[in-house]
Structure 1
């Protein structure tokens, strides 16, 4: 028998070598993906603030508040997976929260979308978006409350972390962003006030914003703000079927997949329900519709299929766009499928194998998977984005151990906020 057909079992529990090539087990591949992606938040973090740089191919001074919230959660994964020690992670987090409290400009307790990683001053996201961004701030608080539950030891560093997080959490003035009405407004500027007038209405990635606003210990919104503002008095319900899959909430086909990721890095959808939806059904249906759209491939783009799927906001060969079935430009974004692994593990791991084993070095690099690719145009991004890398490492961990879900849901303010809005969850039992 030819040597090329000899299967050599190198380890019964881990690696097998077939035709001379090592094939990683699912667990090994998931671990490798987390470890490589973690480097974005550890090696590439801003050297002064420790916060996450917005992207790898833009000015290195620009850090992102939302992506840094995801990075806080990535630190916890790094400790648990032994990529770093607990002491290293705690020291880095202390640097981050000290910067957020004492250097970063805040507006009624909230941060801007982008800030300078050395000075803490706001970097405008757009001409009138030069102040508070409560959605990005909510992603940061999602990470901070998770870390507050994790770093629970009675030593100087972890105690200081908890004190600072508690202070920041107490100082966030969520009610300011209602303007006295039953809806939250996304932006406030010291120069333009509420001129952007962007009401946050569901369903999209902002569910976590309303939950945290209801959970706040000092400046908490009332339930009517959620029901009339976010839920639009029930008008956010969808109820239609796409490819035979009923979608409880949201826009046609569900929108880009990050709608089912950002809020759920900490918020556990399993068994989570309110009068509008079962959120476990919501995120699973959204993911399955997105994948099936790629399989059906109505626009006939090259490369789409049962392993190569996932439409969400990312870079593309024609610029950044919120890719979705209703905005399909032929661009596949790895975070879309990979961050859905708690909802569709078999399909997401199939996609992971395709991205790693078939696309290989075209797509895999220094900080894990590059942001996106267009197989029909033979285009591959040269970029990594914090808001896309973060959900990969965090959601893989939620699939493997439910770690971040368990931590975030254990915070007493979170459970109080959910109850206030009429949610039920197994965590309340």
Structure 2
């Protein structure tokens, strides 16, 4: 009798889960992972495969409650299972648009997931309109990133809104779901008090905490990944910064101008040798660098030269690490055999990070394609996984990461798409607020001449 009851309960439970799955079919349907290395692929087929499989990180591995991007695929540094990342979610929102346009998922599925994220963010912890680096993906409460970093993170907020503003330009249909996405993004966008983060000085500050105030005291300046922060701060419809904040804060630093040659290539801005390659990628998943210039730099030239210097350094390989070469290059922040590190020619630990070369497709398409083919066809049995390429590898140390990070997987999808179609660039640059912000800072863009 007990066995019969147990079987009945099991059948009822199975039917209930099936009904729930059918009900939610529009919102979620897994994407099959292609684990076997396919030897005969055209360039376009390979790009499709990489974008699709990498997207699984955000789609299949997205947080079940919030829909947001998890910080990383492995539980490390005592993060726990609930940690979601705001900046990484910005990339994920953009990747979802790419997935819809490439028919990996339907537009309805993309909109449903995006609405889930937006609804969650709308109720999550905010500080003067800005979001923290990490949230609890179940509760929406802040999870501190470091002992005093338990409040607003203006840079992560800008990476998030780069994605959200792109989504607002994409989800334009006259239906309840897409209308709600647009409205909530607008309300959150208008609520960020960008100019408050100047402390009434001519520079933006990275962090503020309700418990620790401005104690981290980290001004955002010099050439790095934070360019998008100043662009969005100037683009705010209600709390914009003045041009002086850009000129006297961002550009007023001994790490802003460069102008020297490295590997025979001139680097207009930034650290010697350019620093990690994410400097030329994070701000430009939405912000179109083509024809983007002001009195400081031509930003496409800046990003291209930075990439070429990074590649040339790997080819020269002054430390004689195994595996470096013209088809195996790319130093940027990622996991390493020693732990997380901001890899660059100035901090070279023998680790190649696939996201570095792959997110550089718009700048160095020929060289990035050669790297992609090497990563997939030659090293695929070691670095190709269910979520695309692993975060890093070192042939010198026979080390191959098992991990993936949202901030590394997202730019791969986004920047490959910008190389292929310019989709995300077109959407983000079509925002009237962005156009106003660039004009306010005196930054020209050829996107507005089209």
- TM-score grouping bracket, smaller chain normalisation: over 0.9
Q: Choose which of 426, 430, 446 in structure 2 pairs with 1:410.
A: 430
Match of 1:376 among 396, 400, 423: 396
Map of 1:8 onto structure 2 = none
Q: Does 1:64 align with 2:85?
A: yes
CA drift at 1:428: 2.3
Whole-angstrom distance in 2 between the partners of 1:71 and 1:65: 10
Q: Is 2:312 the counterpart of 1:312? A: no
Of 367, 377, 393 in structure 2, the residue corresponding to residue 357 of structure 1 is 377
Q: Secondary structure at the match of 1:184?
A: coil
- 2:233 aligned partner: 213
Match of 2:294 among 253, 270, 274: 274
Measure, in 2, the Cα distance between the counterparts of 1:29 and 1:217: 41
Q: TM-score by structure 2 length?
A: 0.90
Q: 8 Å contact 1:227–1:234 — kept in the other structure?
A: no
Between the aligned partners of 2:268 and 2:147, the Cα distance in structure 1 is 36
1:200 corresponds to 2:200? no
Helix, strand or coil: the match of 1:199?
Answer: coil
Could you give the per-residue CA deviations for residues 164-191 of structure 1, whole angstroms, max 9, x where no partner exists? 0000000000011100000000000001
| 1:293-340: CA deviation from partner (whole Å, max 9, x where unpaired) | 000001111110000000000000000000000000000000000000
- Give the one of 22, 37, 50 matched to 1:33: 50
Pair 1:64–1:235, CA change in 2 (3 A): closer
- Given that residues 311 and 333 in structure 1 are in contact (C-alpha distance below 8 angstroms), is that contact kept between their aligned partners in structure 2? yes
SS of residue paired to 2:409 = helix
The reply to whether residue 89 of structure 1 matches residue 110 of structure 2 is yes
Structure-2 separation of matches of 1:256 and 1:426: 27
Q: Secondary structure at the match of 1:200?
A: coil
- Contact conserved, 2:362 with 2:419, CA < 8 A, in 1? yes
Contact 2:352–2:393, Cα closer than 8 Å, also in 1 = yes
Other-structure match for 2:96: 75
Equivalent residue runs for 1:139-150 within 5 Å: 139-150=159-170
Partner of 1:111: 131
Q: Tell me the distance in 1 between the aligned counterparts of 2:132 and 2:178.
A: 26
Give the corresponding residue for 1:190: 210
Contact 2:221–2:249 (8 Å) recurs in 1: yes
TM-score by length of 1: 0.94
Between the aligned partners of 1:31 and 1:202, the Cα distance in structure 2 is 36
Please, what is the CA RMSD of the aligned residues? 1.1
2: CA distance, partners of 1:66 / 1:149:
19
2:273 corresponds in structure 1 to: 253
- The answer as to whether partners of 2:255 and 2:271 remain within 8 angstroms in 1 is no
Cα deviation, residue 237, structure 1: 1.4
Corresponding residue SS for 1:22: coil
Local SS of the residue matching 2:290:
coil
Quote the offset at 1:233 in angstroms: 7.1
Shift of 1:360: 1.1
Partner of 2:263: 243
| Residue 39 (structure 2) aligned to one of 13, 18, 22 | 22
* Distance in 2 of aligned mates of 1:93 and 1:233: 38
TM-aligned CA deviation for residue 363 of structure 1: 0.1
Contact 2:131–2:151 (8 Å) recurs in 1: yes
Cα shift at 1:234: 8.6
* CA deviation after TM superposition for structure 1 residue 427, in Å: 1.9
Deviation of 1:221 after TM superposition, in Å, equals 0.4
Q: Structure 1 residue 202: deviation in Å?
A: 1.8
- Structure 1 SS opposite 2:39: strand
Instruction: Provide the C-alpha distance between the structure 1 equivalents of 2:448 and 2:170, rounded to a whole number of angstroms.
Output: 19
Q: Runs of at least 4 residues of structure 1 off by over 6 A?
A: none
Q: CA deviation at 1:22?
A: 3.3
1:155 counterpart residue number = 175
Q: CA deviation digits over 1:176-235, x for unaligned, max 9?
A: 110000000000000110000000002000000000000000011000000010011797
Structure 1: any 5+ residue segments left out of the alignment?
Answer: 1-20
1:44 is aligned to 2:64: no
Aligned partner of 1:400 in structure 2 is 420
